[in-house]
Amino acid sequence: ILVPFVALALAFCFYSRKEDFKPEMLKGKRVIVTGASTGIGEQMAYHLAHMGSHILVTARTEAKLQKVVARCLELGAASARYMNGSMEDMIFAELVVKKAEELWGSLDMLILNHVGSSYFGFFNSDVGHVQKLLDINFLSYVTMTVAALPMLKKSAGSIVVVSSMAGKVGFPLLVPYSATKFALDGFFSSLRQELVMQNTNVSITLCVLGLIDTENAMKTVSGVFTSPAAPKEECALEIIKGGALRQREVYYEYTSTKFPLLIRDWVPDLLDYLIRRSYNTEKLK
Ligand code: NDP
């Protein structure tokens, strides 16, 4: 039974294979990167600068954004600007897209990456926190997408959504965060289907990341989550490549994301058990 299925899957993979990535693909492209004052977003801004893109970065902390913009210009960005504000505020989310329109008149890539701070611990029943995190991590992504779609349709552009393994499978101690990342998968995977049905040439790339060595993540999970962390610089590049190649999903890195997910639908209890085993519960006591 499996043979025709595997043959069909291989033929489909071969047929849908895209061209190889070249940094020139981003030269002169107009790109928004949210959550770019630190971590993976900051590294994405530097890669894009190196490739000669026009960049608009966002976050709340103005001083950090000013430094990121200065570094982007040193690295060769075609132009670099910032907008500071909180993604709790949907008006700010819309204004960022408006700013891109004012600056460039068009947009090629929208990279949605920012994440609100949450706790790393057992669910504390705080519904208000879940709501606030949904606003920052989910609703602002939707708001920016709605505002950017007219420009992206004209430029045949791309939406890149940064998610997590915790958006594909349940992870303990991350209940509100995980909920927001699952929501992204539901919204953007359904929207992708509709864009195809409507012959709209806008790609959506969902990025499924394992643990990455950003300062905030390392501080948060320290001593409790014991899996090794992958480098943020390489992670940032893989996200950009996936967006430029219009891949439906990016898995980084494979051993902590793609491979474990292969067993999710067949033996979910085993995957849950393996995930729980990567926590040092002694540290929680
Ligand atoms: P960081 O915590 O390093 O960066 C988060 C960014 O979001 C910062 O620029 C921060 O700047 C900004 N931000 C935070 N709150 C708000 C807000 N309310 N409004 C606007 N901007 C805000 O995150 P990482 O680089 O570690 O993560 C980046 C992405 O990767 C996230 O989507 C995350 O979920 C995902 N990911 C990360 C993993 C990891 O291990 N690092 C693993 C899996 C997924 P400021 O505080 O100045 O506003």
Q: What is the pLDDT of residue 6?
A: 67
Q: Is residue 144 part of a domain?
A: yes
Q: Is residue 8 part of a domain?
A: no
Among 47, 65, 214, which residue has the most ligand 1 atoms within 8 Å of its CB, making it the best to mutate?
A: 214
Q: In this predicted model, what pLDDT tens digit does every residue of 66-117 receive, in sequence order? A: 999 999 999 999 999 999 999 999 999 999 999 999 999 999 999 999 999 9
Among 40, 62, 88, 219, which residue has the most ligand 1 atoms within 8 Å of its CB, making it the best to mutate?
A: 40
Q: Is residue 241 part of a domain?
A: yes
Return the axis-axis angle of helices 232-244 and 39-50, rounded to nearest 10°. Answer: 60
Check which CATH number belongs to the domain holding 204 and give it: 3.40.50.720
Q: What is the pLDDT of residue 189?
A: 98
Dihedral sign of CA atoms 161, 165, 170, 172 in order: negative
Q: Is residue 66 part of a domain?
A: yes
Sorted by sequence, the CB contacts under 8 Å of residue 111 that are 6+ apart come out as 31, 32, 33, 34, 41, 44, 160, 162, 239, 240, 243
Q: Is residue 74 part of a domain?
A: yes
Q: Which atom of ligand 1 is nearest to the CA of 61?
A: 47
Rounded to whole angstroms, the Cα distance separating 283 from 285 reads: 6
Q: Is residue 7 part of a domain?
A: no
Domain holding 249, by residue range, is 22-284
Q: Is residue 99 part of a domain?
A: yes
Which residues are annotated as catalytic? 177
What token pair was written down for 263? 């067993």
What is the total count of domains within the chain?
1
Mean pLDDT score across all residues of the chain: 95
Rounded to whole angstroms, the Cα distance separating 26 from 106 reads: 15
Q: Is residue 78 part of a domain?
A: yes
CA of 222 from ligand 1 middle (Å) equals 17
**pLDDT of residue 15 exceeding 90:** no
Q: What is the pLDDT of residue 7?
A: 72
